């Protein structure tokens, strides 16, 4: 109950992200079936796989929509006198309800291979697209509503055709009967993805024109900051996609090794694509930049004061200077109804000190990982051990009102949600450090074990992108986003480049990836070393 009450906004964003991702998979599967699989006369195995994927995406979309209706309804009822019956009369409830019906229709049609059932997938997909667009920012606008709805629909469609369909290509390449079938599928998908990417980008530029309104809106509002993060991910995808486009052109010469390389790069591209969808879900939770008042926007001076380089704070204020801790019962009671309690300058200085030491540890880990690339410095491959020190630091210093610094007992303090979050995080870091050390030392040789590090990087970065700060101080929340968003983007880049480092056969791209992820790790440390809460 504590977690539900505290993080219902986060749960709503995650449910929105899930429905957007499953919508892309659902519509992308239909596009892949109608524009790639059937025209290419692919084998029955590939077509069955595609239809199964559509059915699974449809069911997952229904579950995501039900969760979204539940969370949105709970938020609406908690802030008003509305009853559940009143909620069922709202526009978002009806739109989500019809979206569920259309998804069930797609699931039903995907079960049959008849021409009528296959053709019916197309209009049902358009109806589902219309239902989801009717709950977007476009539907709430007074000016340019129709134009924005068309741009939003084109943006969703481009996402599905490019990113959603890519997942089906990746799975299909592992099931094809021969290289000729693989070449036909990739060439048809390549042409379709090119149109999808162009549609997505052009529609996105048009939406940004109306929703942001000015260049300053890109860095003075939370909407603009998240939009920059999304642009970064799209540029990374376009870079990988351009490499794949050239690979597809060469498949006629030597298909087998090129197909292996193509699948590995597509894996990273799919990961980036769905992280971009997650960022889009965070955007839907923000007011468009053009609607943010001047007093709620950051100024260039405020950004400079918070972000300009300063000497890291490596010593903390005295423990006795911190505000006297409340009882544990009061802390738990407050956590059920208050998202974030206020803090004074001493608390902020303590927080800066924690971030700066964490940054130093991550910087050292990144530099050691970079040195371990060289044969004469193989000892540096034990860089994950530095994270064990980070876990101990979090346990001892993250919550000064608890054991061993404060009066609250160790075991009882687990009832406080913030303390539980920190300690679970510390435990995960210890497990990760031991795990990755065993991988680096060659003691754990299972292939899947080496994928834990990039997966954790991507997952942690994804959670950071959805993390919402206190709404009490809008500017303080945006300043926190300015420091956390680069960390998330660097984490995503580190995770994807490590994945390519492990998965790609020996090549120039694999070599670049092997140096890129340690550099990103070190840059995360530098960003944390410059983290500021005090003006």
Query: Which DSSP string corresponds to 128-156?
Result: HHHHHHTTSGGGG-SSSHHHHHHHHHHHH
Place of tokens 């992280």: 275
Q: Indicate whether 279 pLDDT > 90.
A: no
The first and second tokens of residue 471, run together, are: 């709404």
Residue pLDDT, tens place only, 371-382:
998 888 888 999
- Identify the weakest region by mean pLDDT among 360-364, 416-420, 432-436, 492-496: 416-420
Q: Which long-range contacts (CB under 8 A, 24 or more apart) does 34-40 make?
A: 34/118, 34/121, 34/122, 35/188, 35/192, 36/165, 36/168, 36/169, 36/185, 36/188, 36/189, 36/192, 37/172, 37/185, 38/118, 39/188, 40/181, 40/184, 40/185, 40/188
Mean pLDDT value of segment 412-428: 79
User: What is the pLDDT at residue 329?
Assistant: 64
Q: Indicate whether 471 pLDDT > 90.
A: no
User: What is the pLDDT at residue 22?
Assistant: 94
Per-residue pLDDT band at 88 (split at 50, 70, 90): confident
Place of tokens 């001892």: 396
The 3-state DSSP class for residue 533 equals coil
CB atoms within 10 A of CB 501: 21
Mean pLDDT value of segment 486-512: 90
Residue pLDDT, tens place only, 108-166:
999 998 889 999 999 999 999 999 999 888 888 888 899 999 999 999 999 999 999 99
Q: Indicate whether 340 pLDDT > 70.
A: no
Mean pLDDT value of segment 216-224: 90
Q: Is 317 left (phi over 0), alpha (psi -120 to 50) or beta?
A: beta
The first and second tokens of residue 255, run together, are: 């298909």
Mean pLDDT value of segment 22-47: 94
Calpha distance 200→220 (Å, rounded): 25
| Residue scoring higher pLDDT (52 or 242) | 52
The dihedrals phi and psi of 402, each to the nearest 5 degrees, come to -115, 175
Mean pLDDT value of segment 256-276: 87
User: What is the pLDDT at residue 212?
Assistant: 92
The 3-state DSSP class for residue 408 equals strand
User: What is the pLDDT at residue 333?
Assistant: 57
- Identify the weakest region by mean pLDDT among 85-94, 146-155, 213-222, 416-425: 416-425
Per-residue pLDDT band at 260 (split at 50, 70, 90): confident
User: What is the pLDDT at residue 400?
Assistant: 83
Calpha distance 113→116 (Å, rounded): 8
- For residue 215, give the nearest of 302, 300, 149, 296 by alpha carbon: 300
Q: Are 450 and 439 in contact (CB under 8 A)?
A: yes
- Identify the weakest region by mean pLDDT among 270-274, 329-333, 456-460: 329-333
- Share above pLDDT 70 across residues of the chain, in percent, rounded to a whole number: 93
User: What is the pLDDT at residue 469?
Assistant: 52
User: What is the pLDDT at residue 106?
Assistant: 96
- Identify the weakest region by mean pLDDT among 112-121, 214-223, 274-283, 326-335: 326-335
Per-residue pLDDT band at 334 (split at 50, 70, 90): low
User: What is the pLDDT at residue 2?
Assistant: 46
Mean pLDDT value of segment 84-97: 85
Q: Indicate whether 338 pLDDT > 70.
A: no
Q: Are 482 and 222 in contact (CB under 8 A)?
A: no
- Share above pLDDT 90 across residues of the chain, in percent, rounded to a whole number: 39
Mean pLDDT value of segment 357-371: 94
In angstroms and rounded to an integer, the radius of gyration of the C-alpha atoms of the chain is 25
Mean pLDDT, all residues of the chain: 86
Calpha distance 26→28 (Å, rounded): 5
User: What is the pLDDT at residue 378?
Assistant: 85
Q: Indicate whether 251 pLDDT > 80.
A: no
């Amino acid at each position: 109950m504590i977690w539900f009450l505290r993080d219902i906004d986060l749960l709503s964003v995650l449910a929105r992200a899930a429905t957007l991702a499953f919508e892309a998979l659902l519509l992308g599967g239909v596009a892949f079936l109608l524009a790639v699989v059937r025209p290419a006369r692919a084998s029955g195995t590939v077509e069955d796989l595609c239809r199964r994927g559509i059915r699974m995406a449809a069911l997952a979309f229904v579950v995501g929509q039900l969760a979204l209706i539940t969370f949105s309804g709970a938020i609406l009822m908690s802030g008003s006198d509305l009853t559940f019956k009143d909620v069922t009369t709202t526009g978002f409830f009806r739109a989500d309800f019809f979206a569920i019906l259309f998804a069930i229709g797609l699931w039903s049609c995907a079960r049959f291979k008849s021409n009528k059932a296959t053709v019916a997938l197309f209009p049902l997909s358009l109806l589902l697209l219309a239902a989801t667009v009717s709950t977007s920012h476009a539907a709430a606008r007074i000016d340019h509503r129709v134009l924005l709805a068309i741009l939003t629909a084109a943006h969703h469609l481009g996402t599905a055709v490019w990113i959603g369909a890519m997942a089906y290509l990746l799975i299909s390449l592992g099931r094809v009967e021969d290289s000729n079938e693989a070449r036909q599928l990739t060439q048809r998908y390549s042409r379709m993805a090119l149109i999808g990417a162009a549609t997505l980008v052009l529609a996105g530029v048009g939406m940004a024109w109306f929703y942001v309104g000015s260049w300053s809106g890109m860095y003075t509002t939370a909407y603009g900051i998240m939009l920059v993060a999304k642009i970064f991910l799209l540029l990374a995808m376009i870079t990988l996609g351009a490499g794949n486009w050239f690979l597809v052109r060469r498949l006629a010469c030597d298909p087998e090794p090129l197909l292996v390389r193509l699948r590995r790069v597509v894996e990273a591209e799919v990961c980036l694509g769905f992280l971009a969808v997650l960022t889009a879900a965070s955007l839907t939770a923000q007011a468009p930049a053009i609607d943010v008042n001047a007093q709620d926007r950051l100024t260039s001076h405020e950004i400079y004061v918070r972000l300009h380089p300063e000497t890291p704070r490596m010593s903390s204020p005295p423990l006795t200077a911190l505000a006297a801790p409340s009882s544990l019962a009061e802390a738990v009671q407050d956590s059920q109804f208050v998202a974030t309690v206020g803090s004074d300058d001493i608390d902020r200085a303590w927080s800066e000190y924690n971030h700066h030491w964490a940054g130093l540890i991550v910087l050292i880990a990144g530099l050691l990982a970079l040195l371990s690339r060289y044969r004469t410095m193989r000892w540096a491959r034990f860089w994950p051990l530095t994270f064990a020190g980070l876990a101990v630091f979090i346990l001892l210093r993250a919550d000064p009102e608890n054991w061993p610094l404060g009066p609250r007992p160790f075991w009882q303090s687990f009832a406080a949600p913030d303390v539980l979050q920190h300690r679970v995080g510390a435990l995960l870091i210890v497990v990760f450090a031991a795990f990755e050390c065993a991988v680096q030392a060659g003691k754990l040789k299972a292939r899947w074990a080496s994928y834990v590090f990039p997966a954790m990087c991507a997952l942690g970065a994804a959670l950071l992108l959805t993390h919402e700060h206190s709404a009490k101080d809008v500017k303080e929340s945006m300043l926190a986003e300015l420091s956390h968003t680069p960390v998330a983007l660097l984490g995503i880049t580190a995770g994807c480049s490590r994945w390519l480092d492990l998965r790609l056969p020996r090549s120039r791209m694999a070599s670049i990836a092997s140096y890129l992820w340690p550099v990103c790790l070190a840059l995360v440390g530098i960003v944390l070393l410059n983290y500021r809460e005090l003006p």
